[in-house]
Chains A and B, each alone.
Chain A
Amino acid sequence: MKRIAFILMLLASPLWALDPKEMLEDAALEARARAIDHELRCVVCQSESVASSNANWAEDARRTVRELITDGSTDAEIMDFFVARYGEFVLMSPRVSGSNWLLWAAGPLMLLLAAGVGVGYLRGRAGTPAPQEAALSEAEEARLREILKE
């Protein structure tokens, strides 16, 4: 049993995110590479970035990023390189282009809309002259008072 388990262990030898042997010598370039790793999605995993994934694909992607950096590509060129091969899906944060402006603008637009409605409501409340007469029967009012009493 122990032997089988050990063989299994060798077979399943876990790769993990970013191995020292993948890293670049130059600390500044490596820092750039890691920043890019976080912006790229591992396309064979489920919602993991290239930086944190253990998959072989992510390992290859990390290596490619470092090769491109060593060859002198800019960050934008590296992103384009991946988008050209794997589509926009590979980007962790979608580009602000075409229909995507809707995504980016959704929050601010909704806030404006909500703030408009909210201010309208508050103005309305402030302008209401007096409370309407109670919609509760007398017995219910008494019960309400009893409940609300501390």
Chain B
Amino acid sequence: MITEFGHFALILAFIVAIVQMIVPLVGAQKRWPAWMAIAEPAASAQFLLTAFAFGALMYAFITSDFSLRLVTLNSHSAKPMLYKISGTWGNHEGSMLLWVLIVTLFGAMAAWFGGNLPPTLRARVLAVQSAIAVAFFAFILFTSNPFLRLAVPPFDGQDLNPLLQDPGLAFHPPFLYLGYVGLSMTFSFAVGALIEGRVDAAWGRWVRPWTLAAWVFLTIGIALGSWWAYYELGWGGFWFWDPVENASFMPWLLAAALLHSAIVVEKREALKSWTILLAILAFGFSLIGTFIVRSGLLTSVHAFANDPERGVFILMIMAFFMGGALVLFAFRAGAMEAKGVFSVVSRESALVANNLLLAVSCFVVFVGTMWPLVAEMFFDRKLSVGPPFFNMAFSPFMLVLGLILPIGSAMPWKRAGIMRSLRPLRYVFVLAFAIAGLAYAMQSGRSLLGPIGMFLAAWIVAGTIVDLAQRTGRGSGRWARLMRLPRADWGKMVAHSGLGITMMGVSGLMAWQHEDIRVAQFGEPFDVGGYTLTLNDVVNSEGPNYLSTTGFITLAQNGRVLAELEPEKRIYPVAQMPTTEAAIDYDLARDVYVVIGDQQAGGGWAVRTYIKPLTNWIWIGSALMALGGFLSLSDRRFRVAAGARKTMAVPAE
């Protein structure tokens, strides 16, 4: 019964969304306050109805209601509760429902916290947001309805893909969707402003928190996914340049660019049309991501709905929103004249360079992802584009970005002197160079990758700290002034440092990884990169919904036991799928990563060991980036702009 209520609520939400798409837009055009005012309660209602529908679906998963087709296909009664819940979005239909739930959530938040927006802009933004919701409600109801019943319910379900039964992956999609869909809000703001025909500093300030939130969630989602791949896929890769990963990475790059260009709009009233274009494109790439995952157009490990009909539907949604927004942009972009004047050497220019690099690197990822398709369609060549291409074509942009970051962020607005900006950084440069030199001298190979990563990390982290220190001026009271700096400044410092640290982790892992594959005999120690491992025992056991083979390995260094590792491989009988559960000894300097393989005919077990230097810093850096975003988000200026009602206190001036 609850399922039917959920289905009904979803249809109601669809109807409310249609109303909210049309009425406020007409109202804003005709300046009818009553029509515009409909947007707010409609946005709330839409969200509550969708939330109810989602709750109903989750209830069906929790209670293992196998009369529901979706539950039968993706769940099993023996599955742990966490994965019954996460199974709600671990499939195509459920994840689309989560997607649209987040669209309506953002719409409702814009309605609740948008009290400060001009009424016409608010009505238009909410109408555009609702139009996006309408498209996806229609998609769900007409092509991927999660509430379909089975005529004859089976006794038990077919289980969720065991690779997805993991805490890291349980929360990866919700964060990723919060990010993807968060960009729908900036899209709505951009289109709203285009219809309005005006972009000013206030618009820049309104749009920044939404972009920032989307970017933070994307960062968390991508980091969770990559961390999951690292420990779950059994050989410790953290990034595969898979089409679906790229699909989440491209919006991240553009959101990062948008974040920076919106600052220029807000502070200097320049780069307006570029910022609008970026906002449109960033959401466009979110839609492309959805399309790639669900159409089966490109082969990917993640693609879970290879249905051409759905693909065509999403393609139509994409064509409508991108086409519409870009046509609107073409007509209105001319009306947005920049006001701020600045010289070629200035923070504005540095941010333009940041945008160039991020946008072009996004373009490189895009071309690389789509090239197999293009080559097959136009040149009749069936080929593939893999990690070696991306590492080579993409990394240089990040290198340059890292190099100019501390310089640009130290520059003042309007007019800067190159030498003036560089002077405080000279010690930072010496420090970074020394660290890189040390890394070069200590490593065994002649690779430059590791030292370059160390250089960039030191350069960026120390550079941003110096930048922050510079803001406190001179003389006494610097510490107090440092503490009083706006949160946004702290956020900038933390997020930029995070980027540097992630670069260090990535290059350290790629340059200095050590791999060992061998047959291990019980009780016979073997050495890998300075560590001694001993296989003590291998035990077969049974988990809630899987069978497991666990190896017991002692990890020691110089006679001192560091850890007891228990690498495991599992078989999920229902899904008929094996998984590896690597045992990892985490350490800030390096991870020791052990995987147990098959029993060998001649006795002993296959064991793979990796020494992975600096790996944890990849995720520490990502966490810092997200933290920096949250710090900025909590800045008082944003809260004021986002609509926390101002008290009517008389300003003390």
Interface residues, chain A, CB within 8 Å of chain B? Answer: 2, 4-6, 8-9, 12-21, 23, 34, 38-39, 41, 46-49, 51-52, 54, 87-94, 98-100, 103-104, 106-107, 110-111, 114-115, 118-119, 121-123, 125-126, 128-132, 135-136, 143-144, 146-150
Contacts and interface: CB of A to CB of B under 8 A. Distances in A.
Given A16-B608, A103-B368, A114-B359, 7 more contacts: A9-B573, A47-B242, A52-B237, A89-B382, A94-B383, A107-B364, A150-B637
Given A89-B383, A93-B388, A20 B360 contact: no
B29 interface: no
A38 to B, nearest CB: 8
Interface of B: 116, 198, 200-202, 205, 233-235, 237, 240, 242-243, 270, 299-301, 303, 337-344, 348-349, 352-353, 356-357, 359-361, 363-364, 367-368, 371, 375, 378-379, 381-389, 392-394, 397, 515, 517-519, 542, 547, 569, 571, 573, 576-578, 580, 595, 597-598, 600, 606, 608, 636-637, 640-641, 646, 651
A104 B389 CA distance: 8
A144 B519 CA distance: 71
A52 B597 CA distance: 13
B338 A125 contact: yes
B352 A121 contact: yes
A64 B367 CA distance: 32
B352 A94 contact: no
6 contacts: A12-B577, A54-B578, A91-B386, A107-B363, A130-B341, A148-B205
Q: Which secondary structure dominates where chain B touches chain A?
A: mixed
Contacts of B386: 41, 47, 49, 91-93
B360 A47 contact: no
Given A48-B301, A52-B237, A122-B344, A147 B367 contact: no
Nearest to A7: B573
Contact of A132 (B337, B352, B359): B337
Contact of B342 (A14, A100, A125, A146): A125
B342 to A, nearest CB: 6
A104 B381 CA distance: 15
A18 to B, nearest CB: 6
A94 B571 contact: no
Contacts of A136: 200
Contacts of A87: 382-383
Contacts of A94: 371, 375, 383-385, 389
A131 B300 contact: no
Contacts of B353: 118
A30 B23 CA distance: 69
B367 A21 contact: no
Contact of A23 (B384, B517, B600): B517
Contacts of A6: 547
A16 B595 CA distance: 10
Contacts of B341: 125-126, 128-131
B300 A106 contact: no
Given A92-B386, A118-B352, A126-B342, A18 B517 contact: yes
Nearest to A92: B386
B600 A21 contact: yes
A16 B542 contact: no
Contacts of B342: 125-126
Nearest to B367: A106
A93 B392 contact: yes
Nearest to B274: A121
Nearest to B342: A125
Contacts of A46: 299-301, 303
Contact of A118 (B356, B378, B387, B576): B356
Contacts of B392: 93
B483 to A, nearest CB: 17
A110 B385 contact: no
A110 B363 contact: yes
Nearest to B355: A118
Given A5-B547, A8-B573, A16 B598 contact: yes
A21 B367 CA distance: 40
B382 A107 contact: no
Given A114-B359, A136-B200, A16 B597 contact: yes
B383 A107 contact: no
A12 B595 CA distance: 18
Contact of A110 (B344, B364, B595, B598): B364
Contacts of A126: 341-344
Contacts of B235: 17, 51-52
Contacts of A34: 515
A90 B384 CA distance: 7
Contacts of B515: 34
A79 to B, nearest CB: 12
A23 B600 CA distance: 14
A115 B600 CA distance: 58
A52 to B, nearest CB: 5
A107 B344 contact: no
Pairs of residues from A and B, 6 with the lowest C-beta to C-beta distance, nearest first: A92-B386, A14-B578, A93-B388, A88-B383, A107-B364, A99-B379
A103 B372 CA distance: 10
A39 B600 CA distance: 28
B249 to A, nearest CB: 14
A17 B367 contact: no
B234 A16 contact: yes
